[in-house]
Each structure stands twice: as C-alpha cells, then as structure tokens.
Amino acid sequence: MAFEGLSQKLSTALSNLTSRGKLTEQAVREGMREVRLALLEADVNYLVVKDFCKKVTERCIGQSVLESLSPAQHVIKIVNEEMTLLMGGQNARLTWSSSVPTIYMLCGLQGSGKTTMAAKLAGHLQKAGKKPLLAACDIYRPAAIKQLQVVGEQVHVPVFEKGVQDPVKTASEAIEHARDYSRDVLIIDTAGRLHIDTVLMEELRRIKAAVKPQEVLFVVDAMTGQDAVTIAKTFHENLGIDGVILTKLDGDTRGGAALSIKAVVGKPIKFSGIGEKLSDIEPFHPDRMAGRILGMGDMLTLIEKAQEAFDAEEVEKLRRRSPKELTLDDFLSQMQQMKKMGSMQSMLSMLPGLGNKLAGMELDENAMKKPEAIIRSMTKRERANPGILNASRRKRIAMGSGTTVQDVNALMRQFGQAKAMMKQMMGNRFSKKGRMRMPF
C-alpha cells in the first residue's frame, strides 16, 4: 500500500500529540519533532521538511488552537491542509492546445515505466472521449517500439513508428499522421537513459523544438524517493517540464518524491500509476493523497472508481427489480465489476480509519475466484433458481468447481445476505400508486 510506512509513523506521532487533554506549546514542538523524523525517514527533502514543520508548528501554537475545546481536530486539520499545499494544493489538469493535435511529450530515465505510462495515459484520455495516437521515438532500447505497439494494442490506441530513423523526424511525421487520421491527441514516447547525459538532453531538446508540445511530462518511479526530485530538477533545468507523472505509487512508497517534488521543482504532479494494469492510472489529487497518508481515507476516489467500474445501465436494471428476482448471474456480474475497481487492499485503504489498520495485514486478493468458479459450474436454470440447489446438486457443483460443499454453502449464505440487504435498502417504500419507490 502506498505510503504505508510514512502513514503509520505520522499516525503514531499525531496520536501522541492529540491524545492530550489540552495542548501546550512544548507538546506541539515535541510532537513536530516526531513528525520531522517520520518525514525524513520517508526520504522527503530536508529543506521541505524543515519548512513544513515550521509552518505547522506556527499554526498549531496559535491562540485559537491552544484554547480550543478540540485541539486534536485542529492539529489534524492543520497538518492535512499544509500537506495538501505541499503537494500542490489542487489537482493540476492537463492543458489543451487550440490546434489539433494536442501534443504531450513524455520524458524520463530508462526503467521509470515511461512506455507503459504512455499507453496508460492514452487509454485514460480515450475513456474521456479523446482520440489519441502514440508515437514511438525511443530507437535505442531493444524492443522499445515493439513494447509500445503491444501496450497500445491492449488499450486500443494506434501507434505511429518509423523504425530507427531520427526520432525528431518520426515525431514530426507523427503530427501529420495524427491530422490525416483525425487523432486529436499525440503522445510521444521518447528515449531514456540509465543516467542523465548531454546526448539524451540534446535529443529531447531537438524533439521539443520540432513538435512544440503543449506539455512536457516527466515520468519518474516513485520508489526512488528523493532521488526522483533531483532527477526531475535536472530535467526541468535542461528541458523545461510542465508536470510530473509518478509511477509505481501502489508499492510501499516512502513518500519522498510525492511530498517533495512540487516544492523543489515547482511543477505539479498530474497523474500517478497505481498498479500494473493499463487501467491503473488516476489524476493526482493532493488533498485526497494527504487524506490517505494521514489515514483519513479517500472516499471521493473510491466513488469515482465505482462509477467507472459499474455499468450504469445494469445497476439501474438491478434497482428496478425485486430482491426476490435477484439471481446468481446478477451476483456474478457485480463481483466481476468490483474487480475492475482495483485490488482489495487499495479499495479498503480508501475507507476512513482503515488505512493504518491494514498495515501488515495480508488480504486474499483471490477471494472472488472461488465464488466465480462455483457459479460458473452451475447450469443456467440453477443460477436463475438457486432454490433448487439440493444436496446432490451442491455436491456436483463443488466437484465441477474444484471446491467443497462447504464452499458452495458459504456462497449461498452470502447470496442470501445480499438479497436481505437489498430488501432492507429498499425499505418497503411504496408510492401512492402502489409501486416500489427506491430510496436512493
């Protein structure tokens, strides 16, 4: 889980501070020493930590906080607000060109996940109604062009490539290709190196001068901590970047990059990679990320994921039906749509108060595979009429799904609970015409 270590340490430091009945200036300063250590251990830039702790301390020892009836709430609120400002304050959206296509140039070191992120970004924009085109301008890394073609095909976005010809020429030709085929977004995947060198920077400057991108987006591995900030700063000084994309934010990221990069480089984080799937990309919201780090959850992102994963038409059909009409096919459909929302760990970590409690726990990410296998081992008639599942049928289903009769019984209990919950949510509310009226 992202920032697990930092989140735990901050939670401990703040709980020691906020557990006091009344705050004193000395208690605030002692608590902020612990916060400072937690941030430094998370590889956050020293100057950033120093400035952050100074601002929080000054606000916390203000008269209104020390004399407040709920100082704990004030302290958490102040830390949350300052952490949000540290990461940019608000979501920095992509900007768009007045002419077609809008060009985004991705750059970064080799191994940062740049090529995969190019496809993720293309898929994300395609879902938003855009028609992206990917351009393969990495002619040095073995199979880089082939990799872009593979991931491009997986997100159903075409890839423009011209082999190992000059990448500046390829990028320029890609613009004309995009116009000819009515592609309104061009994402250029440039070459990376294992380290920064003059040859790399010169090529990137030539591409930028030739295509005049709307934005240059720097892609960096969040696991590199404070080194990511140093690299981003060097790229910005040599090339001029407009935003940052953090990859691998789903691991136990120490937090250094996310918490330092805006303050040091002056450029916002625009997107984050949150998993290995090509759909695992989300806009970076500083306020939501601060909430996750402080164990306050992220309900807005969870709701957005649910809205994206669940088919609105299917949900509406389900709402209009009586709980008695709910079938195991419906149950299977809902489980499959839940899987689109991401891992169980990531979903639960977005619930307020659960983030830190999940630390160290091993959740069974394959928990849904067994129920799916059981339902798929049933006949259409059995799925539609679960009431006919007698002992012999359950034994046959268990053998067919590689499970036990106890597993089948457990699934049927879960199904019964789901129907009961649906009935309860409906609340037996009827309109004057005698028809069921949904409460949501």
Over the stretch 328-349, which tens digit does the pLDDT of each residue have? 888 887 777 776 666 655 665 5
Q: Shortest CA distance to 288 belongs to which of 307, 269, 306, 275?
A: 269
The pLDDT of residue 24 is 76
In contact, 200 and 150? CB cutoff 8 Å: no
Left, alpha or beta for 280 (phi > 0: left; psi -120 to 50: alpha)? beta
In contact, 241 and 267? CB cutoff 8 Å: yes
Is residue 296 pLDDT above 80, yes or no? no
Q: Are strands 281-283 and 269-273 parallel, antiparallel or unpaired?
A: antiparallel
Please, what is the Cα angle at 8 between 6 and 13, to 5 degrees?
Answer: 95
Mean pLDDT of the chain: 80
Q: What confidence tier does 436 reach under pLDDT thresholds 50, 70, 90?
A: very low
Separation between Cα atoms, residue 67 and residue 377, nearest integer Å: 65
Is residue 437 pLDDT above 50, yes or no? no
Is residue 240 pLDDT above 80, yes or no? yes
DSSP letter at 37 equals H
Sheet holding 281-283, edge to edge: 159-160, 132-137, 185-190, 102-107, 215-221, 243-247, 269-273, 281-283
Taking only the tens place, the pLDDT of each residue in 79-137 is 888 988 988 888 889 999 999 999 999 998 888 889 999 999 999 999 999 999 999 99
Q: What confidence tier does 312 reach under pLDDT thresholds 50, 70, 90?
A: low
The pLDDT of residue 243 is 93
The pTM assigned to this predicted structure is 0.68
What's the mean pLDDT in 236-252? 84
DSSP letter at 430 equals B
Separation between Cα atoms, residue 430 and residue 418, nearest integer Å: 21
Q: What confidence tier does 67 reach under pLDDT thresholds 50, 70, 90?
A: low
The pLDDT of residue 399 is 92
DSSP letter at 132 equals E
Is residue 33 pLDDT above 80, yes or no? yes
What's the mean pLDDT in 398-425? 83
The pLDDT of residue 29 is 84
What percent of the chain clears pLDDT 90, i.e. is strictly above it? 33
Higher pLDDT among residues 354 and 208, named by residue: 208
Separation between Cα atoms, residue 94 and residue 294, nearest integer Å: 27
Is residue 362 pLDDT above 60, yes or no? no
Q: How many residues are given for the chain?
A: 440
What's the mean pLDDT in 271-280? 86
For the chain, domains (ranges, CATH) are: 4-86 (1.20.120.140), 102-295 (3.40.50.300), 303-426 (1.10.260.30)
Whole-Å CA distances, 260 to 47, 233, 254: 9, 11, 11
Q: What confidence tier does 190 reach under pLDDT thresholds 50, 70, 90?
A: very high
* Count of C-beta atoms within a 10 Å radius of residue 416: 11
3-state secondary structure at position 190: strand
Q: Shortest CA distance to 86 belongs to which of 231, 265, 233?
A: 265
Is residue 291 pLDDT above 70, yes or no? yes
User: What type of residue is 355?
Assistant: G
The pLDDT of residue 430 is 38
Q: What confidence tier does 390 reach under pLDDT thresholds 50, 70, 90?
A: very high
Taking only the tens place, the pLDDT of each residue in 201-233 is 899 999 999 999 999 999 988 877 777 888 888
CA dihedral defined by 14, 17, 19, 22, rounded to 10 degrees? -140
For 187, counting Cβ atoms within 10 Å of its Cβ (0-12 exposed, 13-18 middle, 19+ buried), the class is: buried
Separation between Cα atoms, residue 120 and residue 104, nearest integer Å: 13
The pLDDT of residue 429 is 42
Separation between Cα atoms, residue 164 and residue 400, nearest integer Å: 52
3-state secondary structure at position 272: strand
